[in-house]
């Protein structure tokens, strides 16, 4: 299955197997089968933070996305399966006049991925709104973790540390005014459109924010706005984004990331770490 069809970068060779389970039991069965056959597997959502090798992936891709995206509202809580898009979750919160999730409306990922890396934008983070998360452990046990057990920090969590697989999250929001919530979401949408290269395939912010700095500014100060390797380019609109100008390969992107990090280190002494996950 061509992985470029399942990543927002629109890059990546074929995976040997590609499955989209609909239930927790199906997920468990697939993983058990992979283990018994010594077959590598990897879980993805919307593929919004992922760069897959041009050679693809030798193993099984388990996609938790549209087939695993139940979402319901009870009072001020949202019960959300891992494959649900953040944008859809934010829309549901808006419809229920619940505030606190506006920041996530424009993040292109799923709830599962957002929990793993404590996704955030515009001053909000998943840790601010998460009450609990149900996960599948590496031993195949279903476990529910409360907010304080999640150890959510900048782009990390206990889920990432332990290699857990997110099944469902409970978000606790606050009653708000529908018009005000919509106004905030519209304002953030305008900011994104004006500042981010949304017209090109990308994986969002390519580098983690170094402590005390902004990756995009460091890259710009190193004279790398518009810098290109093959079809991969440092966005002229926002230097923190690497974009696919049309025919970029994973090799183009990784070489560009390497050269950018090298130049920034030489210019400012700061080490940039990729935020995008590399697979295969």
Query: Which active-site residues does the annotation give?
Result: 155, 205, 275
* Rounded (5°) CA angle 141-146-152: 100
* Rounded (5°) CA angle 31-33-37: 120
Which tokens belong to 267? 């210019």
SS3 call for 35: helix
Report yes or no: 21 and 61 within 8 Å, Cβ to Cβ: no
End-to-end CA distance of the chain: 14
Q: What is the DSSP string of 178-238?
A: HHHHHHHHHHHHHHHHHHS-TTS-EEEE-BPPPTTS-HHHHHHHTT-TT-EETTEEE-SS-
Report yes or no: 253 and 30 within 8 Å, Cβ to Cβ: no
Bridge pairing between strands 130-136 and 142-146: antiparallel
């Amino acid at each position: 299955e061509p992985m470029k069809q399942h990543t927002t970068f629109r890059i990546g060779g074929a995976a040997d197997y590609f499955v989209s389970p609909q239930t927790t039991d199906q997920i468990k069965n697939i993983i058990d089968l992979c283990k018994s056959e010594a077959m590598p597997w990897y879980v993805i959502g919307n593929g919004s933070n992922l760069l897959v090798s041009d050679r693809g992936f030798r193993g099984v891709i388990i996609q938790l996305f549209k087939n695993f995206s139940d979402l319901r509202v009870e009072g001020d809580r949202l019960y959300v399966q891992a494959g649900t898009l953040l944008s859809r979750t934010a829309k549901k919160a808006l419809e229920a006049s619940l505030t606190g999730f506006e920041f996530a409306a424009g993040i292109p990922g799923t709830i599962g991925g957002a929990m793993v890396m404590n996704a955030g934008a515009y001053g909000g983070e998943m840790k601010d709104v998460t009450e609990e998360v149900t996960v599948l452990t590496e031993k195949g046990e279903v476990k529910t973790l409360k907010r304080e057990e999640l150890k959510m920090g900048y782009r990390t969590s206990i889920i990432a540390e332990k290699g857990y697989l997110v099944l469902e999250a409970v978000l606790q929001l606050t009653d708000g005014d529908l018009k005000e919530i919509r106004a905030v979401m519209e304002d953030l949408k305008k900011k994104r459109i004006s500042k981010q290269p949304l017209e090109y395939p990308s994986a969002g912010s390519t580098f983690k924010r170094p402590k005390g700095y902004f990756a995009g500014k460091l890259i710009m100060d190193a004279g790398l706005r518009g810098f290109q390797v093959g079809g991969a380019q440092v966005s002229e609109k926002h230097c923190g984004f690497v974009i696919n100008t049309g025919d970029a390969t994973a090799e183009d992107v990784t070489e560009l990331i390497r050269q950018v990090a090298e130049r920034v280190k030489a210019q400012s002494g700061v080490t940039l770490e990729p935020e995008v996950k590399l697979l295969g």
